[in-house]
Every structure is written in structure tokens, then in C-alpha cells.
Structure 1
Amino acid sequence: MDMDNMVAEGGPMPEAAAPAALNRRSFLIGSAAGLGALSLAGCASSGGMSYSEAVRAYGPVADAKFPIAAVDISKVDPKYYRRTVRYPSKEAPGTIIIDPAKHYVYRIEGNDNATRYGANVGREGFLWSGEAYVGRKAEWPTWTPPKEMIARQPEAAKYAAGMPGGPDNPLGARTLYLYQDGKYTLYTIYSTRVARSIGTGVTSGCTGLLTQDMLDLYARTPVDTKVLVLPA
């Protein structure tokens, strides 16, 4: 079974169509109340990464636990390369804003600027919006399929005790787990090695960034960071 198509506990959903792709219940949680008043229309700054700059930015990483392969950026639309953009917002620096309609994740930097990352997001029927926060973080996390998934997809039973973290684990190298009112929402921001998934709606609710982008966001995101998920 191709592990890139596996569902992760509170993490990634299928990123490429495959007969054995595992699915998970939708995340119809949260509320969009209050989001409408925010000024959240991102405006790209002039310029951006050139192809050669992207090759360097998304090159291999010698991580402490497992080597991280370079991204095949030929499979990523250049508009999804990481960049600094003008993004007027009243949110505090460090706040993460997920815009599933545009397939972007923003980290507010202050002075009306943000770091913008290309993302994959939930497909139709697996989208939710509202306010959450980062309840915990994990490097090379273990994946454990929910009981509901095992009931629907018996092939997932072999991972019932958990799949250790590693390059083939669908949660990837880094994961941010989102919480509301002290409870895990089953929604995460995770790292994906599937370049072609960026800019698409292919998951069952979570948001995936290219691993090199996720390393950047993860390192600058402490627990309790506010996260806003916009309506799609």
C-alpha cells in the first residue's frame, strides 16, 4: 500500500487517488463567526522566488532523525512557492491563517506582511472553518488510524498500534495539532512530500505544506499559537 495515500491520525488525508486510499470522517467543527469582519485578502508582493532560488529553498535537508529529500518543484506551480506578501490583518504576529479557497497558509509577520505558503486542503465535503490554536507539536509523529477508519477500511488494522515516524509516515516530518476549548479537533497542519498535491483539495480536512515549508512554519510556531481557518 502506498503510504502517501494513507490517512494520518489527525493529519493528512489521501493526497493522490488510489484504490486503497484510506478516508476519514469529515471535520464539521468550528465556527466562522467573527471571521467576516477581518481584513484577510492577501496581496502578493512584487517578485518572488525564481526557479533557481526555489531549487535551493526546496532542496534536501539533513534532518537530525531522517534525511529529507528535495522537492520536485517541476510539479509545483511557482505561485505556491514560499514568499513574503503584503497581507493587512489585525491579527498578532505569529497568527496562522488558512485560506482553503486559495490553497494558502499565512503566518502574520506584522507591518501588514505575512509569510505565505502553498498548501493542499480538504476536498469538498471535508472542509470546516473557525478559530483554533496549536495544542501540541510533534517531530516525525506516530500515525494511529482511528477506530472508525479501521471499521471502514480493514486494511488499516495493521497500523492499529501505531506506525512509527519516518519518511514513509503520512504525517511527515512535522505536525501541528489544532485544538478548540482544550480538545483536539482532529485537524492538523502537516508536512507532505507529494509536490503535486499543493494547490489542490485532496484531503479529508487537514492542511498540508511541502516539508521544507513546514520546517519553516513549525520552527516559528509555539504551542498556543492562534489559528484561523477561513470559509472555503
Structure 2
Amino acid sequence: MDQTFVDLLARNAEHAERFESRFDDVQDAQHPAVVTVCCSDSRVLQDQMWGNDEPGRIFTCGNIGNRVVQRTAVGETVSGDVLYPIEHTGTEIAVVVGHTGCGAVTATYDALTHGVSEPDGIGHCLDLLKPHLEPGVDRLPADLSRPDSINHLVEYNVDRQVQLLRESDDVPDSVTVVGTVYDFQDVYGGRRGEIHVVNVDGETDVDRLRADHPEIDDRIDRRWEY
């Protein structure tokens, strides 16, 4: 057996020892307080970024590009994995988590500007992002470096995913939708691994957000106010 997997099992044994009694209250049902939609990038530590060690607290979804929609016979709809906790477990907070240097955003940017060839499965994911990111690509300042262009589009993508949730008839108005960026590349000037709030229920103006949410004003920031 590959040593990597052997090591994973060893770490799982440690996990099971620590967590064995923590599943007592969630044996038969779950009622997570929040659903998060994260990028599946291996650098995005989906539970650990929140310091979560409580089973049943966070319903975590992951895919490349932190997308909230899927394509169906009737068009784009909110993905079932995102919608499930909202529809069935009473979850009333949805958090979209983008991240600096996102590979899916980079690949979509390249596909829109230069054209790229990807396997069908990856291409399908990029095709879901393209129509939502294309207007952002067109609005990028001309003098931006490539890394800055990508990180501007990371915020733009988070905004679009928040918008898709807010506009969906399947997501009740009572659900709070927060857009964030997980920074491990020193883009926002905080500590690596910090979450920065860039959007709350469609509001993206930093001054308004800080006025409306003073309890988290030091965590609200944006690189691009377009």
C-alpha cells in the first residue's frame, strides 16, 4: 500500500480517538448552522479554516471554482449539494469561499482570453464559470499583472455566486449569503489563512459593509470595487 495512504489511516485513527464521543448528538440527524461552498483546491482547508471540530455544525460543499449552480435539463439551478441543507435541515447562512490564486478562475480566464484544452470533465466545470466571469474579464483594468487579474476575478466570481444564490427562487430570502476570500498569498495584508469578507447579501461597498456589520469590520476588505 502506498505510504501516503498508510499515513492517512494513521491520522484517521488519531481523529477517531479524539472524536469518538463527539458524534453522540448527531447520530440520527443533522442541523448545520451554515453551508459553505469552497473551492476543492488542496490548499483550502475547508473545516480547519473555521477552527471547526464539531460534527454537524458546518455543511461543507467543495468543487473547483466554488460554484453554486449545476446545469440541468431546465437550465442552471442551484446545486443540490448546496441547496440540501437549506431545504431540509433549516440552515439559514450560506458562505461562498473563494481563495487567492484560484486555479479554476485562472483556467477560466485563460479559456476566455487565449483558449485552453482540458478533459471534458474539467471543461464542463469551466463552461459553468465562463458566462459568469466573462463580463468581469472585460472590465479588468488594462494595467493589471496576471496574478492581480486573477485575484480581481476571484472576488468577481464570489460576487457572481452570491448573486446566483440571492436570485434563486429555491433559496428563501431569510437565508443570509456571505461572500468571502481565503487568503494564503499575502494579497489582503493579513495573516495567511485569514478569511476576508467581500460581500454580504449582494452588498459589496466596503464602507457600507463595515457600517452595517461593525462587529466584523476588521475582516471586511476588497481588492476590486468595480
For the aligned pair, the TM-score class normalised by the smaller chain equals: under 0.3
- Greater strand proportion: 1
TM-score normalised by the chain length of structure 1: 0.27
Q: Which has the higher contact order (CA 8 A, sep 6+)?
A: 1
Greater share of residues in helix = 2
**TM-score (structure 2 length as normaliser):** 0.27
